[in-house]
């Protein structure tokens, strides 16, 4: 469209050499850029469809009603609904973590008793020393369950079991062959796998947070950086399965390898904050290797979906970012803070359709946000106080740019428009009026 000013508003008395105009300039295409198969599900700040604590309670209740049983103070999950036997070592560890997740989501203290019973049941079945289980990944899943379970219940005996078994696995599993990493199966020691190193990094980070022992922090970061260097594909975000002792890498991607690497990145950030530092890695580093669904609930026009990005990771996002709207039609002024800083590495950004009269302002590569901007020509409110001119316009038109030109009286309105700095990020501006200027014109344009 043309960039001609379409209306002028002089709502208050201002110096005759100051003219205020608006212009619905539309030129070029909307910026669409993006990230690997990452789906962000948006809901407007009005009624939002989101995964809530109540959903967690429903899911866990259904699962426990079907599979959970107790024997005295020992808790278990059945192999099947009709089975009298409990699930195996690593399965039970993961089920215990699911109940811990439910507690952390809902803060329902009823889960604490279940967690205690399950940890007791695990000890009843497997003992407190797991060195007879040569699968180091199994042992580390249990370490995570006991470390987290001990932390939420306040029972240090569970934390101590986690600590002693992590020490056992690290002592027999880590060496400098292949540059580091933990072997999957002891004493076979034929390969170093993502399925053991991801949980190992998480377990060490949890122990650091519990005991404030920097040895665990160092082990956590060593494991992580080894896995990142050897099994992480920076181009696709995928985590490869393993490397054998001959140096051959099995590039098979699996969801649980993606998940544990990503889970550690969250734990790493917590550990760095506890260690007095700031996070330099985040889960966004490898979101490109899988499909991720996020939705929001909240109030107000600015909704924070997730803060996935910090430090050097900002330049490492890859692939396609697809945003979907779960709620009502979005309106001008709605802002979604997808990331806590610029994320400029996406190759494509797909944004949902908007109702007529609105467009997306894609600021993902600028500040990590997206904004709905109204394209209807706005009115300007004008104020003058102590030789200071204030212009303001509706908040749903934040994203429009103020332009100005200064000419002599004989020239009048020309084509020499200049952007007024920083006005596209706000809906008002104040500037001094110079009586030495012949004529000064203002207008709003978009984009």
Report the number of distinct structural domains present in the chain.
3
Same domain (yes/no): 67, 196 = yes
Whether 370 contacts 336, CB under 8 Å: yes
Same domain (yes/no): 438, 394 = yes
Rounded CA gap, 301 and 394, in Å?
A: 13
Same domain (yes/no): 124, 199 = yes
Rounded CA gap, 352 and 44, in Å?
A: 12
Same domain (yes/no): 129, 260 = yes
* Beta-bridge partner residues of 75: 70
| Least confidently predicted of 1-10, 103-112, 409-418, 435-444 | 1-10
- Residue 31 domain-assigned (yes or no): no
Name the phi and psi angles at 409, rounded to 5.
Answer: -60, -35
- Residue 1 domain-assigned (yes or no): no
Same domain (yes/no): 321, 342 = yes
Last residue of a domain, one of 265, 286, 307: 286
Res. 30: pLDDT tops 80: no
Same domain (yes/no): 255, 180 = yes
Whether 192 contacts 181, CB under 8 Å: yes
Q: CA 298, 300, 301, 305 torsion: positive or negative?
A: negative
For the segment 129-162, what is each residue's pLDDT rounded down to a tens digit?
999 999 999 999 999 999 999 999 999 999 999 9
Given pLDDT bands bounded at 50, 70 and 90, which one contains residue 311? very low
Residue 132 CB partners (closer than 8 Å, separation 6+): none
| The pLDDT value given to residue 350 | 79
For the domain that residue 423 is a member of, what is the CATH number? Answer: 2.60.40
More confident residue, 120 or 343: 120
Rounded CA gap, 299 and 38, in Å?
A: 25
| Residues recorded for the chain | 447
Rounded CA gap, 359 and 311, in Å?
A: 30
- The pLDDT mean for the chain works out to 78
Same domain (yes/no): 170, 60 = yes
Same domain (yes/no): 387, 304 = no
Q: What is the DSSP letter of 427?
A: S
Rounded CA gap, 295 and 262, in Å?
A: 18
For the segment 324-375, what is each residue's pLDDT rounded down to a tens digit?
665 567 788 888 877 767 777 677 787 888 889 999 999 888 888 888 899 9
- Residue 33 domain-assigned (yes or no): no
| The pLDDT value given to residue 221 | 86
- Residue 174 domain-assigned (yes or no): yes
Q: Name the strand (E) or helix (H) holding 148.
A: helix 136-153
Res. 105: pLDDT tops 50: yes
Same domain (yes/no): 323, 307 = yes
For the domain that residue 85 is a member of, what is the CATH number? Answer: 1.50.10.20
SS3 category, 302 = strand
More confident residue, 54 or 160: 160
Last residue of a domain, one of 267, 286, 305: 286
Rounded CA gap, 205 and 199, in Å?
A: 10
Res. 14: pLDDT tops 80: no
For the segment 15-24, what is each residue's pLDDT rounded down to a tens digit?
333 444 333 3
| The pLDDT value given to residue 3 | 35
Whether 417 contacts 394, CB under 8 Å: no
| The pLDDT value given to residue 273 | 33
Q: Name the strand (E) or helix (H) holding 78.
A: none
| The pLDDT value given to residue 138 | 98
Q: Name the strand (E) or helix (H) holding 428.
A: strand 428-432
In the chain, count H helices and then E strands.
8, 21
Same domain (yes/no): 182, 57 = yes
Q: What is the 3-state secondary structure (H, E, C) of 88-111?
A: CHHHHHHHHHHHHHHHHHHCCCHH
SS3 category, 254 = coil
Res. 286: pLDDT tops 50: no
Q: CA 245, 251, 256, 262 torsion: positive or negative?
A: positive
More confident residue, 239 or 277: 239
Q: Name the strand (E) or helix (H) holding 334.
A: none
| The pLDDT value given to residue 240 | 95
What's the domain range around 22?
7-26+378-445
Same domain (yes/no): 304, 427 = no
- Residue 278 domain-assigned (yes or no): yes
| Least confidently predicted of 95-104, 285-294, 314-323 | 285-294
Q: Scanning the structure block, which residue is given the tokens 């140096």?
A: 247
Tokens matching residue 67: 């599979």
- Residue 2 domain-assigned (yes or no): no
Given pLDDT bands bounded at 50, 70 and 90, which one contains residue 194? very high
Last residue of a domain, one of 356, 374, 392: 374
Q: Scanning the structure block, which residue is given the tokens 């530092």?
A: 277
% of the chain residues with pLDDT over 90: 41
| The pLDDT value given to residue 418 | 93
Residue 13 CB partners (closer than 8 Å, separation 6+): 384
Rounded CA gap, 253 and 241, in Å?
A: 6
| The pLDDT value given to residue 331 | 82
Same domain (yes/no): 96, 244 = yes
Q: What is the dihedral of CA 296, 297, 300, 304, to 10 degrees?
A: -30
- Residue 67 domain-assigned (yes or no): yes
Strands of the sheet with 320-325, listed across from one edge: 292-294, 38-42, 320-325, 348-350
Burial (Cβ within 10 Å: 0-12, 13-18, ≥19) of residue 444: buried
Query: How much is the pTM?
Result: 0.57
Whether 35 contacts 319, CB under 8 Å: yes
Residue 204 CB partners (closer than 8 Å, separation 6+): 166, 170, 216, 217, 219, 220, 223
Give buried/exposed letters for 295-306 (b at 16+ CB in 10 A, else e).
bbeeeebebebb
- Residue 268 domain-assigned (yes or no): yes
For the segment 201-242, what is each residue's pLDDT rounded down to a tens digit?
999 989 988 998 989 989 998 998 899 899 988 777 788 999
Strands of the sheet with 335-337, listed across from one edge: 302-304, 335-337, 369-374, 358-363
| The pLDDT value given to residue 217 | 87
Rounded CA gap, 139 and 131, in Å?
A: 8
């Amino acid at each position: 469209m043309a960039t001609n000013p379409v209306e002028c508003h002089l709502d208050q008395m201002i110096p005759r050499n100051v003219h205020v105009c608006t212009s619905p300039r539309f030129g070029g295409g909307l910026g669409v850029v993006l990230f690997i198969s990452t789906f962000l599900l948006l809901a407007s700040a009005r009624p939002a469809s989101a995964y809530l604590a109540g959903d967690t309670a429903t899911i866990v209740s259904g699962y426990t009603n079907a599979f959970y049983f107790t024997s005295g103070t020992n808790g278990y999950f059945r192999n099947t609904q009709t089975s009298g036997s409990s699930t195996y070592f690593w399965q039970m560890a993961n089920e215990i973590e699911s109940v811990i997740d439910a507690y952390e989501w809902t803060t329902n203290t009823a889960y604490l008793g279940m967690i205690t019973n399950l940890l007791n049941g695990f000890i009843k079945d497997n003992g407190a020393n797991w060195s007879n289980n040569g699968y180091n990944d199994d042992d580390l899943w249990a370490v995570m369950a006991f470390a987290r379970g001990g932390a939420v219940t306040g029972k240090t005996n569970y934390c101590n079991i986690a600590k002693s078994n992590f020490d056992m696995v690290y002592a027999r599993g880590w060496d400098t062959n292949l540059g580091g990493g933990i072997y999957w199966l002891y004493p076979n020691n034929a390969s170093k796998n993502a399925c053991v190193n991801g949980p190992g990094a998480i377990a060490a980070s949890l122990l650091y947070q519990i005991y404030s022992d920097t040895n665990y922090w160092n082990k956590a970061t060593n494991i992580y950086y080894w896995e990142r260097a050897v099994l992480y594909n920076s181009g696709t975000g995928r985590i490869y399965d393993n490397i054998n002792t001959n140096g051959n890498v099995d590039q098979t991607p699996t969801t649980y390898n993606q998940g544990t690497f990503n889970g550690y990145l969250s734990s790493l950030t917590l550990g760095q904050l506890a260690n007095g530092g700031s996070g330099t890695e985040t889960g966004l580093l490898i979101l490109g290797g899988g499909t991720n669904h996020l939705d929001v609930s909240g109030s107000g026009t600015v909704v924070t979906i997730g803060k996935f990005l910090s430090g050097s990771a900002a330049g490492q996002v890859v692939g396609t970012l697809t945003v979907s709207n779960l709620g009502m039609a979005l309106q001008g002024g709605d802002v979604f803070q997808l990331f806590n800083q610029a994320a400029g590495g996406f190759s494509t950004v797909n944004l949902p359709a908007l109702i007529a009269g609105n467009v997306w302002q894609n600021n993902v590569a600028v500040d990590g946000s997206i904004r709905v901007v109204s394209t209807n020509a706005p009115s300007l409110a004008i104020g003058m106080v102590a030789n200071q001119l204030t212009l303001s316009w509706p908040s749903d038109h934040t994203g429009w740019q103020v332009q100005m030109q200064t000419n002599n009286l004989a020239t009048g309105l020309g084509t020499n428009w200049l952007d007024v700095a920083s006005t596209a990020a706000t809906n008002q501006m104040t500037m001094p009026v110079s009586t030495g200027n012949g004529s000064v014109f203002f207008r709003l344009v978009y984009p």
